[in-house]
């Protein structure tokens, strides 16, 4: 999947795009707090040091802009995958659901711009100042919610609280695994190695999601529910 960078450009939107791409690369390499706004302006070729503040206002707003710049295209592809599996009557097939949900993200590592975005996501995911799932939910990404609901429904008797927590674990697993792998391999050119990694990642995600719930987890869940009911 090739990520789109922009549609119709104007001088203002072109500047904004250059800032987004420069920040995405630098954040992915050095972390959100390892890069100054001045460095981003310079990397984007902006002599005016106030350019970034003019377009985004703050570093957190810039992080959210980078996320949404990429994530909306990804969510569109995810929506197409979900529609296809529904047409094929595969809504109960957890392996198919996982592929439809995560392949638009996982497949990004076949392109250089996708690799940059994955590394950026991993930095945001591991930054305590940001909650990546919450940022995504604020971004009007309808296919995320739809795919998540289908997965919870397909898991049947799995307690919803466990299912939702496992889904969050899956997001963390996918993003972290992808980012680490791209730093160890030439993700774009090592095609056979990449295909093996992706296939094994999906097998691992399936096993993780469908693992039996232990008695320890069920008892901990009961204690959590009772605690909430007392409040």
Q: Could you please report the per-residue DSSP string of 24-53?
A: HHHHHHH-GGGS-HHHHHHHTT---TTHHH
Q: Which domains does the chain have, with CATH numbers?
A: 67-230 (1.10.357)
Question: How confident is residue 7, by pLDDT bands cut at 50, 70 and 90?
Answer: very low
Distances (CA, A) of 117 to 9, 106, 218, 221: 21, 11, 37, 35
Summarised one tens digit per residue, pLDDT across range 171-189 is: 999 999 999 999 999 999 9
How much of the chain, in percent, has pLDDT values that exceed 90?
65
Question: How confident is residue 140, by pLDDT bands cut at 50, 70 and 90?
Answer: confident
Measured distance CA(96)–CA(73) in Å, rounded: 20
Q: How confident is the model at residue 160, as a pLDDT?
A: 87
Summarised one tens digit per residue, pLDDT across range 73-126 is: 999 999 999 999 999 999 999 999 999 999 999 999 999 999 999 999 999 999
Q: What is the mean pLDDT of residues 19-46?
A: 93
53-82 residues labelled b (16+ CB within 10 A) or e (exposed): eebbeebeebbbbbbbbbbebbbebbbebb
Summarised one tens digit per residue, pLDDT across range 46-65 is: 877 788 888 998 889 999 99
pTM: 0.86
Q: Is the pLDDT of residue 2 over 80?
A: no
CA–CA–CA angle 88, 94, 100 (5° rounding): 65
Strand, coil or helix: what is 189?
Answer: coil
Query: 211 vs 141, which has greater pLDDT?
Result: 211
Strand, coil or helix: what is 5?
Answer: coil
Measured distance CA(184)–CA(61) in Å, rounded: 30
Question: How confident is residue 1, by pLDDT bands cut at 50, 70 and 90?
Answer: low
């Amino acid at each position: 999947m090739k990520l789109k960078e922009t549609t119709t450009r104007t001088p203002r939107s072109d500047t904004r795009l250059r800032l987004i791409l420069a920040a995405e690369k630098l954040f992915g390499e050095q972390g959100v707090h390892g890069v100054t706004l001045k460095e981003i302006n310079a990397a984007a070729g902006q002599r005016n040091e106030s350019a970034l503040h003019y377009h985004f206002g703050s570093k957190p707003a810039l992080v959210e802009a980078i996320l949404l710049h990429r994530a909306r295209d990804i969510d569109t592809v995810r929506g197409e995958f979900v529609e296809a599996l529904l047409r094929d009557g595969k809504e109960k097939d957890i392996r198919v659901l996982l592929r439809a949900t995560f392949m638009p993200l996982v497949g990004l590592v076949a392109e250089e711009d996708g690799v940059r975005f994955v590394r950026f996501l991993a930095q945001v995911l591991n930054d305590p100042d940001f909650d990546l799932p919450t940022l995504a939910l604020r971004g009007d990404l309808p296919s995320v919610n739809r795919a998540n609901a289908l997965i919870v429904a397909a898991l049947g008797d799995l307690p919803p609280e466990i299912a939702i927590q496992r889904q969050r674990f899956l997001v963390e697993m996918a993003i972290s695994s992808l980012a680490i792998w791209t730093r160890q391999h030439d993700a774009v050119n090592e095609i056979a190695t990449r295909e093996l990694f992706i296939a094994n990642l999906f097998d691992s995600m399936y096993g993780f999601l469908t693992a039996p719930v232990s008695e320890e987890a069920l008892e901990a869940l009961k204690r959590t529910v009772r605690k909430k009911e007392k409040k």
